[in-house]
Chain A
Amino acid sequence: MRRLRHDLHILTGVYALDALEDTERERFEHHLQRCQSCSHEVRGLHETATGLALAAARVPPPQLRERVLTIAARTRQNPPVTDQRPLPRPRSVWFPRLAAAAAAVAVVAAVVLGITQAATQRRLDRVQAQQQGIEAVLNAPDVRIVSHRTSVGGTATVVFSEDRHKMVVTTTGLPPLPSGKVYELWLMAPGGNRPAGLLPAPSAGRTAPVLAAGLAVGDRAGVTVEPAGGSAQPTTTPILAIPLAG
């Protein structure tokens, strides 16, 4: 264990230079959430890397300025990330406190429930992968957002990127379902409907974002009521079918 921690601490340098491969980077970011001395060191090394960047400065192509300023003027900005929002946090270095809290909760849960460390780690990986996936959609250059009332009340909001073939769905105010029923998401197309995940139980009327992959041009985002566990094909009339088009 000590040896492992030592090995991980050594990675501050390669991490600060973005020289880790993806899986290693994720593992190291988990470690950073728990290791204050590492995250302090990483900050200093990031500032050092900035020195390297400044040394490579060059005059950019003149036409770039006009283009960037023009596009910015007609591009909506992202809202700040707040504690209440179930939306993703940017990479953990910038949010070590929240992430550390999440990690601490998971560790306590592991002890209390007797879950193995490995299983906890896998779950954390999954949560983080999901958050990064959501962030990737939100940051996609072609990101679009559509919002629509369902036929039974409440509103579904779909943020999607055709480039990334993904969508993120949140809802507010959907009527509660009897036990044994769930809301299921679909990617609907004339050629067939593909299941896109189940909505989680709402908290304060909202459902946490669900990320679905496999979006194709011309798809609609649909929601149906299905037996618990979901179905392979819709078995009830959709309460929503929003075209996903720019």
Chain B
Amino acid sequence: MDGMNTRDVRVPEPGGGQGKSADRDLDWLLGRVARGDQAAFEQVYDRLAGPAYGLIRTVVRDPAQSEEVAQEVLLEVWRNASRFDPAKGSATTWVMLIAHRRAIDRVRSASAEAQRDQKSAAAAVAASADEVADAVAANLDAERVRRCLSSLTDIQRESITLAYYGGYTYRQVAGLLNVALGTIKTRIRDGLIRLRDCMGVSW
């Protein structure tokens, strides 16, 4: 059975973006999970463990810690499935929110002890963005996201990448890019809105 299951969690429907029907499917599966259906949870795992782990790994970087955080996140999905409300956003977004928050909790608590030097941190994040790009080169979704990211201004793109993939607060981002706080807030919002429109997000 395992042999039949390619378990390629990364590639959404070609062409159609994330696919509304795939999203509805996941909403339904999470409803089953909320009622204790372990088979449904396996399916949710197979669909979302890859995106959750990849996101956590991008933020946290250390593989062992990333695995720990991913485990916490996926178990939180199991425990709190009853609190997911499809009227408030997609299932994937609900899980990615949990994953991102847990990942930044991890790096922000860790960074107190290891006050990272800003310049080397910026270099590390730039490297990690490249790494992301490599790791997901075959991913259609990633292709589209990269294309959309490249349509942003440098400051928009860098500040969004540092904040989301790097897990930095906007104040830290402002410090890293040497830009005023107010500018960062605006650039991040403008950039995200452009990304949203480019990616065809319908909310």
Contact = CB atoms under 8 A, between A and B. Distances in A.
B24 interface: no
Contacts of B168: 19
A108 B90 CA distance: 34
Given A56-B55, A81-B83, 15 more contacts: A13-B193, A17-B164, A18-B104, A18-B164, A43-B203, A45-B189, A49-B96, A53-B51, A56-B51, A57-B55, A57-B141, A59-B7, A72-B41, A72-B78, A141-B72
A68 interface: yes
Given A43-B203, A48-B199, A68-B45, A53 B99 contact: yes
B93 A46 contact: yes
Contact of A44 (B50, B169, B201): B201
A166 B2 CA distance: 43
Interface residues of B, number: 81
Contacts of B75: 68, 71-72, 75, 141
28 contacts: A13-B189, A19-B168, A19-B188, A43-B89, A43-B203, A45-B189, A49-B100, A51-B145, A54-B142, A55-B139, A55-B142, A55-B146, A56-B51, A56-B165, A57-B10, A57-B54, A59-B10, A59-B53, A60-B52, A64-B49, A68-B71, A72-B41, A72-B74, A72-B78, A75-B75, A78-B80, A79-B82, A95-B88
Q: Which 3 A-B pairs have the closest CB atoms?
A: A13-B189, A58-B54, A44-B203
B188 A69 contact: no
A147 interface: no
B83 A54 contact: no
Nearest to A49: B164
Contact of A13 (B36, B167, B191): B191
B29 interface: no
Interface residues of A, number: 52
B80 A18 contact: no
A58 B52 CA distance: 8
A22 B199 CA distance: 29
A60 to B, nearest CB: 4
